[in-house]
Structure 1
Amino acid sequence: MSDSAARPKVAAVVVAAGKGLRVGGDLPKQYRRVGGRAVLTRTLAALAASPRIGRIQPVIAPDATDFFRECVAELEPALANKLAEPVPGGATRQQSVAAGLEGLARSGAPDLVLVHDAARPFVDEALIARAIEAGSEHGAAVPGVAVSDTIKLVETIAPGIGRVHETPSRENLRAVQTPQSFRFGSLLDAHRRAVAEGRDGFTDDGALAEWAGLAVVVFEGDARNRKITQAADLIEADRAFSKEAPAISEAPMTTYVTRLGTGFDVHAFTEGDHVWLGGIKIPADRGVLAHSDGDVALHALTDALLGAIADGDIGTHFPPSDEKWRGASSDQFLAHACSLVRAQGGKIDHLDITVLAEAPRIGHHREAIRARIAEIAGVPLSAVSIKATTTEKLGFVGRAEGLAAQAAATVRLPEVEVDTGTETAERRS
């Protein structure tokens, strides 16, 4: 049997649904930035970079979709492709892990699952490899590091006061970390049993596995794999990751230049019962005459992005003379333009569209259109705006002969400053 055939299919659940406000401020700790990137972005990047992990199931708070999309937008496409659609977590860590496991079960159960806290961005490939090896061999394994402080077991006798009950030997104590590694079926069964028996409140999956009767082993953890819990942890992590950035004396300093691109598209009406606008099918008394699906909003937005990076127009990349694109869905045009921006190391800051039409009215569809564009472009909902106007009965739009859209896209592209004292050379593709 080849090595690839013998290797177990491994997935990871990343628990990122907690509020994590002990670090201070209103933003959960997993979305705070350390060394210029969100904690969650760093954690996802570290796991996705492992060739041993094939799929990652994020678990996030129901109201954190925009934050999550911002994190994913900063990942390299090859890493982002390993991420499954996030699932909403529960009120407790145990409920969130269960939600992640059920998400993996629906999309195809792996052989082995790693459960990792989003607030541990220092996880590295060596620790991941040890977790997979231990989980594969023993079925349930958690990383642990030796305890350096003396530990006391106490019983509380007054607020803030405890009487020492026992002083266990440090030799047998381990501080447990993540990623914790399990045979997928065993851990899923344990979680389902806990739900059925009304058991909730396990603070880690090793404890839940022990409760379910699984033999859990402890393998060598990593003292550097610390968890961000308090404000001091956040500050220390920021310092640590900032040190990883190349010094100015070692490499050119990378900054960003803001670019604005615009686009415009128009289509005449013809027979039909719907139009496509912003990736949403809208009922109408007429359709549009077009080679593709005729989505003027996505076409204009695609051209705006291509304009921002000076890379031709939609006809350059998707010629109307090519039958391959007849009737094509325009979401792939926009997705392509977004990928070209990111291939240059760019970031999409804002997308703004204005639809010019007497009909159909888009008011009832506005939020659906914004959500669809945000999904296609991989940006937060707050970065998408869509408006509509008429032309006061003037021109072809006013005569209801067709509809049009204009768009603007704001992006940031990397710029390399050359240390000549007078010149700035822009990096172009």
Structure 2
Amino acid sequence: MDVAAKPDSKVGVVIVAAGRGERAGLGDGPKQYRIVGGKTVIRRSIEAFAAHPAIGPIVAVIHSDDHALYAQAAGTLAGRVRVVEGGATRQDSVRLGLQALREAAPAKVLIHDAARPFVESALVDRTVAAIGERQAALPALAVSDTLKRGGNDGTVSETISRNGLYAAQTPQGFPFWPIYAAHMKAHHAGKTDFTDDAAIAEWTGIPVRLVEGSPDNIKLTWARDIEMADQRLSGAHFPDVRTGNGYDVHSFEAGDHVWLCGVKIPHGKKLSGHSDADVGLHALTDALLATCGAGDIGTHFPPSDPQWKGARSRIFAEHAASLVRAAGGRIANADITLICEAPRIGPHREAMTAAISEMLSIGPGRVSVKATTNERLGFIGREEGIAAIATATVIYPGEVSA
């Protein structure tokens, strides 16, 4: 133990945020970086501690792949928090977070899951007050549901008494050096089956005192939890639903295929353009950018820039979708109408829908690809080119008045 360090009177905090959030089933990144009520989950957790007068050094333990996500999420709080990379398990990540606090040597430490963004100042006060020199503190709520044990055949084998049973929460509080030593002991012993830090404290003989938890201090585990949290914080009676439109046209030139909505289609001509000239995706890109006031496709991918020569247009659509998500938007619908005499779109509609669904990370039921002719009128009717109209509907956090 590093006993040379001078103890810090402030309380240290380890915020564990290295998980992948598989149970949430979100498909677009770890849950701690999802936006609820206009802010990311992890930023809300950091703010709860950074604003508390008793809190000193804060360490955020993140996944090695998430540095860019974290920097964007933390924003102006980045300088308040030390960041370290986590391990293969939550237990490993906590140990690494505690190691990062050794130099600061706080007398007390709180260990908190980033996926609990609703921790209240009063809960922090109760937990810190219950930490002793050799005593931990565990916020918990008495179990109110009737508990059943299931048998191997899928039927109830017994009803379990809920007397004396509690559901544990975080932040869990500890005297710093004893819990650090406990984690190191478990690490060297190869024990990796502890479900929380209080369990490690119990294993090493550190008494754990129960303190009153908070029913609002929920852990965001499932996709529905995140959706409900967003609704709770947004309080939006009139949700901010925005619609963007895009239009594009490209002429034909000599060639043997066209790219339309991310699908390569054999054809007697090709569309002329600096990139692959995918008129459908160009219109869609403009529609998405319009929902967050981010200019148009030429703003981000100017045709004068040689790096986009022959580029796949899915790059443009994916970039626009990432800007929408960065602004807190959720893409609700993408609708594209292709206007051409040829090629026939019907045989390729399913592939186009699947391609756009993948680019935007939305379900295929939220994508519509349609086609119409120009009744042999104008340049389209003369088969000199193809036009596309796109509409995107995106839901942003907050109310319309915001």
Using the size of structure 1 for normalisation, the TM-score is 0.52
1:103 to 92, 100, 103: 100
The CA deviation at 1:152 is 2.7
Alpha-carbon distance between aligned partners in 1 of 2:144 and 2:134, rounded to the nearest angstrom: 27
Alpha-carbon distance between aligned partners in 1 of 2:8 and 2:20, rounded to the nearest angstrom: 36
Would you say the 8 A contact 1:48–1:80 is kept in 2? no
Would you say the 8 A contact 1:140–1:215 is kept in 2? yes
Alpha-carbon distance between aligned partners in 1 of 2:175 and 2:133, rounded to the nearest angstrom: 10
1:248-287 equivalences in 2 (<5 Å): none
Residues paired across the two proteins, number: 240
The CA deviation at 1:202 is 0.8
2:17 matches 1:21: no
1:16-415 equivalences in 2 (<5 Å): 16-26=17-27, 27-73=29-75, 77=76, 79-84=77-82, 86-105=83-102, 107-136=103-132, 139-154=135-150, 156-158=151-153, 160-164=154-158, 167-168=160-161, 170-243=162-235
Equivalent residue of 1:234, what SS? helix
Equivalent residue of 1:54, what SS? strand
Which amino acid in the other structure matches residue 82 of structure 1? R
Structure 1 residues without counterparts, runs of 5 or longer = 1-5, 254-351, 353-379, 381-418, 420-429
Alpha-carbon distance between aligned partners in 2 of 1:31 and 1:120, rounded to the nearest angstrom: 12
Equivalent residue of 2:130, what SS? helix
Q: Deviations over 1:201-243 (max 9, x none)?
A: 2110011111111111110000000000011100110011112
State the match for 1:311 in structure 2.
none
Which amino acid in the other structure matches residue 11 of structure 1? G
Alpha-carbon distance between aligned partners in 1 of 2:234 and 2:132, rounded to the nearest angstrom: 35
Alpha-carbon distance between aligned partners in 1 of 2:67 and 2:203, rounded to the nearest angstrom: 33
The CA deviation at 1:58 is 0.3
Equivalent residue of 2:112, what SS? strand
Alpha-carbon distance between aligned partners in 1 of 2:61 and 2:95, rounded to the nearest angstrom: 10
Q: 1:12 to 1:198 in 2, by over 3 A?
A: same
Would you say the 8 A contact 2:148–2:156 is kept in 1? no
Using the size of structure 2 for normalisation, the TM-score is 0.55
Which amino acid in the other structure matches residue 214 of structure 1? I
Which amino acid in the other structure matches residue 86 of structure 2? G
Alpha-carbon distance between aligned partners in 2 of 1:194 and 1:41, rounded to the nearest angstrom: 30
Would you say the 8 A contact 1:92–1:201 is kept in 2? no
Q: 1:192 to 1:138 in 2, by over 3 A?
A: closer
Q: Deviations over 1:143-198 (max 9, x none)?
A: 001211012345x323x44522x522x33111110000000000000000001111
Q: Deviations over 1:349-395 (max 9, x none)?
A: xxx9xxxxxxxxxxxxxxxxxxxxxxxxxxx9xxxxxxxxxxxxxxx
Alpha-carbon distance between aligned partners in 2 of 1:130 and 1:176, rounded to the nearest angstrom: 15
Which amino acid in the other structure matches residue 163 of structure 1? S
Would you say the 8 A contact 1:54–1:82 is kept in 2? no
Alpha-carbon distance between aligned partners in 2 of 1:61 and 1:7, rounded to the nearest angstrom: 27
Which amino acid in the other structure matches residue 23 of structure 1? A
